[in-house]
Amino acid sequence: MPELPEVETICRGLRKYALGLKIKDVKVNMPKMTNVPVNQFRKNLIGARIKDVLRRAKTINIQLSNGFWLVIHLKISGQLLYLPKTEPIKKHTHIIFGLSNGYTLRFWDQRQFGYMRLFDSPGRDRFMAELDFGPEPLEKNFTLEMFRGLLKSRPKSRIKPLLLDQTFISGIGNIYADEILFYARIHPLTRPGALKDIQVKKIFQGIKKILALGVKKRGSSIELYVDVAGQPGGFVPYIKAYGRAGESCKRCRTPIKRIKIGSRSASFCPKCQILKHESHE
């Protein structure tokens, strides 16, 4: 579930609390969540300091002082928690890092889809290249001109699944895709090739505005997401479409509708987001 705003919030929390700390111990309760044997995983982590924390798409990238990188993906239910070592360890805590200040960094994942991957720098570069992430939507180099070009390369796709495609644009998931399209008044089944330029601009503005607000509000705690301190995000009161099927549209009072698109779903207002090739200003 964690999308760009949630993962960015976690990375910022790690930079605030854990930069410069040494990893004193590592306990792995679920070996399948790592890409190397537990002994090797522990050997290459213990004694290293946390040098930097970066986000790429929905992944957390921890740079270590010994040249290694720890790449973490929380997938559906993962949490990364910065807690005192005296805090009781709850069920589904699969990896625990003991830190030099008496705190721990704990990887909790009820559904066990998340992972940690340990790489040297060239290995991390290869791994990222294989994932083939698209551009970062909140970076300055993600421009309207670039977005137009991306849409022109996929004219027959449906816009909602396209926004979810991590090779198209990085970091957007179900929550923010629904909110972006609601903001732009675009039906989720619209094909990019049918969009007018004013609609393209509105989607682009929505991407920038909605994701930035999501980061500002520290993410959406709809299911299991919390930040590194275990605190929920504050974006939920701003949600207009996602998860509101049957509830009244906050613009026109029409009931929000939910449809399936392949294996995913989309929530939208059937009055504000009509499947027509025109702007609804």
| Residue 84 annotated to the active site | no
Of residues 5, 6, 55, 58, which has the active-site annotation? 58
Under DSSP, is residue 95 helix (H, G, I), strand (E, B) or coil? Answer: strand
- If one counts every other C-beta atom within 10 angstroms of the C-beta of residue 74, the result is 24
Active-site residue, selected from the candidate residues 208, 264, 270, 271: 264
CA separation for the pair 11, 136 (Å, rounded): 15
Please indicate whether residue 154 is annotated as part of the active site.
Answer: no
213-219, long-range: CB < 8 A, 24+ apart: 213/238, 214/3, 214/4, 214/5, 214/6, 214/176, 215/4, 215/5, 215/8, 215/9, 215/138, 217/5, 218/5, 218/9, 219/2, 219/3, 219/5, 219/6, 219/9
Q: Which of 3, 6, 8, 179 is catalytic?
A: 3
Place of tokens 């930097």: 52
Task: Indicate if 216 belongs to the active site.
Answer: no
**Can you state the angle between helices 197-216 and 144-153, rounded to 10 degrees?**
120
2, 5, 161, 188: the active-site residue: 2
* Rounded Cα–Cα distance for residues 64 and 136 (Å): 23
136 CB contacts (<8 Å, ≥6 apart)?
56, 57, 142, 170, 171
Q: Is 3 a catalytic residue?
A: yes
The DSSP string of 57-91 is TTEEEEEETTSEEEEEE-TTTEEEEEEETTSPPPT
Q: Determine the Cα–Cα distance for residues 52 and 46; give it in Å rounded to an integer.
A: 16
Residues forming beta bridges with residue 83, ordered by sequence position: 104
Q: Which residues are known to be catalytic?
A: 2-3, 58, 264
